[in-house]
Amino acid sequence: MSMHADKPLSIVVLISGNGSNLQAIIDDIAKNNDNACITAVISNRPDVYGLVRAKAADIPTRVIDHTGFDDRLSFDQALQDCIDEYQPGLIILAGFMRILSPTFVSHYHGRMINIHPSLLPEFTGVNTHQRVLDAGRTEHGVSIHFVTEELDGGPVICQSRIQVKANDTSKSLAMRLQIEEHRLYPIVVQWIANHRLYQTGHQVVFDEHVLEAPVDLTESSPS
């Protein structure tokens, strides 16, 4: 990492909706993390509640409405231009519901992370909670990973597991998993801000060791 130790990690967060993970990160930085600063929140949709959360925390907000662009590449270029105004050391995808082009992703190699509601590499894509139930799995979870050109395919940093209960629905699983998302994302942001974690090639280095498997942040008695 090339950032000076005395300069907080500059973060841009990309959202498309409610922004609950954004809120968890805002709250953690305010309480526990002097080494990070969210310099902008960018949404591809206007009038979403995540923008309200950002404004309440005095974080600059921008809207790059994808419906105003003819194709994905022109949207991605406008988004990239907007992000680069802030020169962030880290881009966080927090419920950002756009598939990004390979050119965009490669521009931010090693600087962009995403959270995904499954135990990657299983159940990439959408509707993971229902798909886990349909597959009869007894375990579900959340993964945080560096973003690469492969959808939900970048190197996984950490995971947390929950047990699937007999009476679970996709909604109940989503609610319980969201608690884990809000716990894990701020931890990873702190690791990066404190220079404990970075990506090299297709590997993750944590505390000077290449991760052979994702860090397991499951609490001792999974809910």
Residue 19 backbone zone (phi > 0: left; psi -120 to 50: alpha; other: beta): left
140 labelled catalytic: no
Q: Which helix (H) or strand (E) holds 141?
A: strand 139-146
Say whether the peptide bond before residue 46 is cis (omega within 30 degrees of 0): no
Matching residue, tokens 């050109």: 149
Query: Which is the catalytic residue, given 116, 129, 145, 182?
Result: 116
Dihedral sign for Cα atoms in the order 144, 145, 146, 152? negative
| CA nearest neighbour of 15 among 47, 148, 29 | 47
Q: List 61's β-bridge partners, or say none.
A: 41
Positions marked active-site? 116
